[in-house]
Structure 1
Amino acid sequence: MRIISGLFKGRRITAPKKLPVRPTTDMAKEALFNILNNQYYFDDISVLDLFAGTGNISYEFASRGTEQITAVDADYGCIKFINETADAFDMSISTIKSDVFKFLVKTKQKHTIIFADPPYDFELEAFFKIPDLVFKNELIEDDGLLIVEHSKHTDLRDLKYYSHSKSYGGNMFSFFTK
């Protein structure tokens, strides 16, 4: 994986093969950040990266100037890799090793953008829980956005707060707003 833009543009990051991850493709990530670039000043926002995996999305936000980034993942190896990479690049990414659903119930901190990239083979009900918990617990700022990455075979259009989706190859991003 590589960082698409910003201070660390072009830097390649190689995650250990043993991590249980499926990083967002560079093509999909570039398209997503082109959308976000037209809506937000990255140095003025707070980001929550759920199911952070390799930290791919967190690094992209950090490279573009975001300083308030929290990455949450249940896997110790993923958290360790994100911490090591963030330290090597001097990025301000806070990590939390936790089950995402338990974290969403406990946290009170609001964010401008919440990005969730759960395993594509999740049960549909698990995908439904993400926006439900985010909006029920008021974790999004008024001008904020929840983005859920999923397979094109998963349909989230009927969920409350759903705004729209964008498809890039086999990847799909569903956007949710207040």
Structure 2
Amino acid sequence: MRIIGGRWRGRRLLAPTGKDVRPTADRTREALFNILAHAPLGQAPLGGSLWVDVFCGTGAVGLEALSRGAEACVFIDKDVSFARSNATALGAVPPLLQTDAARLPACPLPRPADFVFLDPPYGRDLLAPALDALRAGGWLAPTALLILESAASETINLPAAFRLYEARAYGAAKLWFVGQTQGENA
């Protein structure tokens, strides 16, 4: 596993063995950042953006965003040890929040996030509570783009305050591009 583009391009990342953490594949991350660079989903530009990487595991997606010019990224997971190790190896010192994604405190960023990546463990129905917690805690800019990862065969149910723009499958994973419904901003 490695950083695909930007200032840390080609740098290797630590990934655990076993099935407890399932890092987003290099191919899927590359596709994600190509979409963000070229697809008109109404999102903010990547350069200078604020990110939140929820269920971050290794931190690969948030670190990729930082490598490509994001201003900051908060990494959230019940265990941030791999994200911490990878960030340290790259010389980054991002905020790490070791907590349950369904019980988030108020947003510590200087402004709400432009992008949020959520990759919960597959099949555990953790997505909706995390989305609700992000919204309630003021983590989301009105035009925030949320990218959700699931198993390619999985269907997601979004809370009413969110709408699906599109979904794309990449091997065993599917990326869902989501925004907030009008008038439902945190």
Q: CA RMSD in A?
A: 2.1
Percent identity over the alignment is 30
Which position in structure 1 is the counterpart of 2:183?
A: none
The 5-angstrom pairing of residues 61-76 of structure 1 reads: 61-75=65-79
Q: Please report how far the alpha carbon of residue 147 of structure 1 lies from its aligned counterpart in structure 2 after TM superposition.
A: 1.2
Structure 1 runs (4+) greater than 6 angstroms displaced: none
Which position in structure 2 is the counterpart of 1:85?
A: 86
CA deviations on 1:108-127 (whole Å, 9 max, x unpaired) are 3521011100001313xx33
Give the alignment's TM-score, normalised by structure 2: 0.82
The 5-angstrom pairing of residues 152-163 of structure 1 reads: 152-156=152-156, 159-160=159-160, 161-163=163-165
Which position in structure 2 is the counterpart of 1:140?
A: 140
Q: Please report how far the alpha carbon of residue 57 of structure 1 lies from its aligned counterpart in structure 2 after TM superposition.
A: 0.6
Question: Separation in 2 of the partners of 1:49 and 1:113?
Answer: 9
Question: Separation in 1 of the partners of 2:96 and 2:36?
Answer: 23
C-alpha change, 1:164 and 1:130, in structure 2 (3 Å) is: farther
Which position in structure 2 is the counterpart of 1:169?
A: 171
Question: Separation in 2 of the partners of 1:95 and 1:137?
Answer: 16
Give the alignment's TM-score, normalised by structure 1: 0.85
- Mark the runs of 5 or more structure 2 residues left unpaired by the alignment: 181-186
Question: Separation in 2 of the partners of 1:102 and 1:157?
Answer: 19
**Which is worse superposed, 45-54 or 56-65?**
56-65
Secondary structure (helix, strand or coil) at the match of 1:164 reads strand
C-alpha change, 1:40 and 1:34, in structure 2 (3 Å) is: farther
Question: Is contact 1:111–1:141 with CA below 8 Å preserved after alignment?
Answer: yes
C-alpha change, 1:13 and 1:130, in structure 2 (3 Å) is: same
The 5-angstrom pairing of residues 9-28 of structure 1 reads: 9-17=9-17, 20-28=20-28
Secondary structure (helix, strand or coil) at the match of 1:85 reads helix
Question: Which of 111, 122, 126 is the aligned partner of 1:120?
Answer: 122
Secondary structure (helix, strand or coil) at the match of 2:103 reads helix
Give the number of aligned pairs.
171
- Mark the runs of 5 or more structure 1 residues left unpaired by the alignment: none
